[in-house]
Amino acid sequence: MELHRFYSSLAIRNDRTRKIVLLLIDGLGGLSHENYGYKTELEYANHPTLDRLASRGATGMLTPVLPGVTPGSGPAHMALFGMDPISLNIGRGVLEALGIGIVPGSTDVLARGNFCTVDDNGVIIDRRAGRISTDICEERLSLLRDIRVPGCDIELHAVRDHRFVLRLKGSDLNGDIGNTDPGTVGRKPKAASALTRRAEATAGLVNAFVDQALNRLKGPFAANALVLRGFSMLPGIPGFDELYGLRSAALAIYPMYKGLARVVGMDILNCGNDFSDQLRTLKTHWDDYDYFFIHYKYTDSCGEDGEFLSKAHHIETLDSSIGPLISLEPAVLAVTGDHSTPAALKSHSWHPVPLLLVSPTCRRDGSTAFTESVCARGGLGTLESKYLMGLLLAHALRLEKFGA
Amino acid sequence: MELHRFYSSLAIRNDRTRKIVLLLIDGLGGLSHENYGYKTELEYANHPTLDRLASRGATGMLTPVLPGVTPGSGPAHMALFGMDPISLNIGRGVLEALGIGIVPGSTDVLARGNFCTVDDNGVIIDRRAGRISTDICEERLSLLRDIRVPGCDIELHAVRDHRFVLRLKGSDLNGDIGNTDPGTVGRKPKAASALTRRAEATAGLVNAFVDQALNRLKGPFAANALVLRGFSMLPGIPGFDELYGLRSAALAIYPMYKGLARVVGMDILNCGNDFSDQLRTLKTHWDDYDYFFIHYKYTDSCGEDGEFLSKAHHIETLDSSIGPLISLEPAVLAVTGDHSTPAALKSHSWHPVPLLLVSPTCRRDGSTAFTESVCARGGLGTLESKYLMGLLLAHALRLEKFGA
């Protein structure tokens, strides 16, 4: 049985009192940095409130996917929402759409598009079309917007630079389609090919679009062609309400995270531009929901930029602002990250992520701080992120006994 | 998806700079011994170099197969090579062959044979034929070597005492065959029976061989019959090169470990007779490979013999000889064992095995020594051995991000 269905089978519904809060600090986990006494960002930062929470709760470590595997935001969040991130991996096209605020319908097919530059023979000579500006990307897309293909509606959305999203809307589409992007210069874009029988008709629609598009883009200039990849549809995931009987809401500022929350059926609350705004919104809607997902972005961005001190600083900002959340006294508060983004690596990484769980029903483990080294020895042990949802439900007394 | 295929799908190939070294101390894990202050062999031994490595790295524990499961060398090594040791278990016949330096072809069927002694009615009265010497085993085998069975070629190899290996070579053989060994005295050897339809022809060949063999062995003396068990073929495992893009080499002295390394496509380097020789060979071939498996045997043998002090001594010898390996500055160095072999038990055991990982990309966890008690609290946590391969690849920056 799929993990989320197993937890679902045990879920106790209609409890409107015991609130669950998942405070997700994006890219939280760090790496010992030689310039900072081999401390991680979290070890270096001063965060007395989180430390106090740790002493009232239990800590542990989350492995986002499997040991050694560095996750993108998609699988990392899906796991924290209780889904197996390998079998329910969200395709690139869908993620790209979520990232710009589009939540695909369940029958849509999405693909990530790149403008590229080809020579007179149609051979790709620049896979990113010289990284044209987003304005030029918009301009090129406007040439393609009135292309009609019988059998589906087509939408095109600029992302950034040479990147865009292709959305096919129809009633009988299928996303099992291979990339038209050959993945290298020196080759022509490929035709879209159906990877399964059921996708043959959709592949035909894609090729009908691409043929017309290539005709319109032709010319002795950059961005005179396009390639598509990551054809995908929304995985059929039931919402939190259906699965767990949870009225759930997301407090996220960036489109990607709002989109990922929508995939599991959360309401997206309008929550301003910073963490204090997010917490004010939380308070306003406290009675309306049973589960709140709060997404704190800045730690990840600083990690990606290699900014150790900024990342530590954003942890401190969060720590000093978290009071209003604690005052609401959620039945279960989990503080963790979707993955590690160590400044030392300037990228997402595979390292486990610190987890802090505070609840009247948690077994206190004597943790005295919220750091990687404390969490690695914490009472919750090291577990895959996909099990967190079960822990949250359990500590909120929202899972019934399994078996007699 | 099988674990090794999942890691394989993320592998970054063609990196010729970041070397991975797996230093496997056979039977490393020990057990608190009442004669030695309830210390384990590793806790008792003096190993300042390994301790220094621990303080620069991270530690943890490996569970060879599953909690409580004592592994043989086959599954224990397969797991460390990234294979699920339960679904890809190597059969007894194949392992026995590997142990005497025979690497079976992919279409061979192997079985472990025992000479036994039967009474006038063909009923087994001694399953080990009085543990005849290897010389007598050779002599008995020589009676059987010119047996011909149309449909396959037959090889017979003495192992030790009453034990030998039967190898069937052919193009359409199948190893799903039940033991002819009834597993007890007081019964006759059984006919070989096909466990699946596809193995019926092969079972017929085996029985044709056995009938002739029993005829030739007949007589009022020991070793006048034989039984076979562990019929098996090589599991179809792709090599490290194909799977992970790793040029890999094994530095092992004993045939079994060379054989296990060959199963996953490693080159076997000629590396002398002791650890210093192995390290000299490592240095010579440093530029030729991306992954090195170094097998250190003596700790296991001492554990099997119940020699606590000798096992501790061999750990000390390794520790004092390891300098040349450290000087090579591998991108990732893992020091661990395939399983525990506590002198207190005189056998392999199920206890988790200490793991030490040193890499510029590892999260230092404050470990100050390399012992079971430190590793049990280490930052890497306790994980199944099959995940080590993913950690090694990740720390060498050889795995790409999963999902976007």
Read off the pLDDT of residues B288-308 as tens digits, 9 standing for 90 and up: 999 999 999 999 999 999 999
Residue A121, token pair as written in the block: 């023979």
Asked if residue B26 lies in contact with residue B337, where contact means CB atoms within 8 angstroms, the answer is: yes
CA angle A130/A131/A132 to nearest 5° reads 95
Q: Is the dihedral of CA A228, A233, A235, A240 positive or negative?
A: positive
pLDDT tens-place string over residues B206-243: 999 999 999 999 999 999 999 999 999 998 889 999 99
* pLDDT beyond 90 at A53: yes
pLDDT tens-place string over residues B303-324: 999 999 999 999 999 999 999 9
* pLDDT beyond 90 at A404: no
Residue B20: how many CA atoms within 13 Å on its side-chain side?
27
Share of chain B above pLDDT 70, in %: 100
Asked if residue B314 lies in contact with residue B331, where contact means CB atoms within 8 angstroms, the answer is: no
pLDDT tens-place string over residues B22-79: 999 999 999 999 999 999 999 999 999 999 999 999 999 999 999 999 999 999 999 9
Residues paired with residue A292 on neighbouring β-strands, in sequence order? A21, A249
Average confidence score pLDDT of chain A: 95
* pLDDT beyond 90 at A73: yes
Per-residue pLDDT, B15: 87
pLDDT tens-place string over residues A190-216: 999 999 999 999 999 999 999 999 999
Name which of B361, B377, B387 is nearest A67 (Cβ-Cβ): B387
Asked if residue A127 lies in contact with residue A180, where contact means CB atoms within 8 angstroms, the answer is: no
Amino acid at B261: A
B381 touching A, CB under 8 A? yes
d(CA B89, CA B302): 26
Least Cα separation, residue A350 to chain B (angstroms)? 7
Average confidence score pLDDT of chain B: 96
pLDDT tens-place string over residues B86-107: 999 899 999 999 989 898 999 9
B125 touching A, CB under 8 A? no
Residue B48, token pair as written in the block: 């300042």
Q: If you count DSSP H runs as helices and E runs as strands, how many of each does chain B have, helices first? A: 15, 13
Confidence at A322, pLDDT banded by 50, 70, 90: very high
Over residues A351-363, mean pLDDT: 98
Which residue, among A152, A157, A166, A159, has the nearest Cα to A91 in the 3D structure? A166
> How many beta-carbon pairs under 8 angstroms link A with B?
100
Please state the ipTM of this predicted complex: 0.91
The answer to whether the CB atoms of A382 and B378 lie below 8 A apart is: no
Asked if residue A90 lies in contact with residue A235, where contact means CB atoms within 8 angstroms, the answer is: yes
Per-residue pLDDT, B343: 96
B22 touching A, CB under 8 A? no
* pLDDT beyond 90 at A390: yes
Residue A49, token pair as written in the block: 């409130």
- Looking at beta carbons, which residues of chain A come within 8 Å of B387? 66-68
- Looking at beta carbons, which residues of chain B come within 8 Å of A67? 383, 387-388, 390-391, 394
Question: Strands A163-169 and A109-118: what pairing?
Answer: antiparallel
Which residue, among B55, B30, B51, has the nearest Cα to B41 in the 3D structure? B30
Over residues A52-70, mean pLDDT: 98
Per-residue pLDDT, B14: 83
The answer to whether the CB atoms of B361 and A86 lie below 8 A apart is: no
Confidence at A15, pLDDT banded by 50, 70, 90: confident
Q: What is the DSSP string of B134-148?
A: HHHHHHHHHTTTT--
Per-residue pLDDT, A52: 98
- Looking at beta carbons, which residues of chain B come within 8 Å of A44? none
Q: State the best of B5, B364, B383, B399 to mutate against chain A, taking most chain A CBs within 10 Å.
A: B364
Over residues B241-253, mean pLDDT: 96
Name which of A29, A348, A381 is nearest B381 (Cβ-Cβ): A381
Give the residue from chain B lying closest to A354, CA to CA.
B379
Give the residue from chain B lying closest to A40, CA to CA.
B363
pLDDT tens-place string over residues A258-314: 999 999 999 999 998 899 999 999 999 999 999 999 999 999 999 999 999 999 999
Asked if residue B350 lies in contact with residue B67, where contact means CB atoms within 8 angstroms, the answer is: yes
CA distances from A139 to A75, A136, A216, A284 (A): 33, 5, 12, 42
pLDDT tens-place string over residues B357-395: 999 999 999 999 999 999 999 999 999 999 999 999 999
A73 touching B, CB under 8 A? yes
- Looking at beta carbons, which residues of chain B come within 8 Å of A29? 363
B363 touching A, CB under 8 A? yes
pLDDT tens-place string over residues A117-142: 999 999 999 999 998 999 999 999 99
Over residues A311-334, mean pLDDT: 98
- Looking at beta carbons, which residues of chain B come within 8 Å of A347? 401
Name which of B1, B365, B402 is nearest A373 (Cβ-Cβ): B365
Over residues A88-104, mean pLDDT: 91
Helix (H) or strand (E) holding A110: strand A109-118
Asked if residue B249 lies in contact with residue B291, where contact means CB atoms within 8 angstroms, the answer is: yes
Per-residue pLDDT, A190: 96
Confidence at B273, pLDDT banded by 50, 70, 90: confident
Which residue, among B299, B349, B345, has the nearest Cα to B64 in the 3D structure? B349
The answer to whether the CB atoms of A71 and B401 lie below 8 A apart is: yes
* pLDDT beyond 90 at A381: yes
Residues paired with residue B152 on neighbouring β-strands, in sequence order? B149
Confidence at A236, pLDDT banded by 50, 70, 90: confident
| Strands annotated E in B221-379 | 225-232, 248-251, 267-268, 291-296, 332-336, 353-358
Per-residue pLDDT, B272: 87
d(CA B85, CA B87): 6
Residues paired with residue B295 on neighbouring β-strands, in sequence order? B24
CA distances from A345 to A29, A32, A206, A306, B361 (A): 12, 11, 39, 7, 8
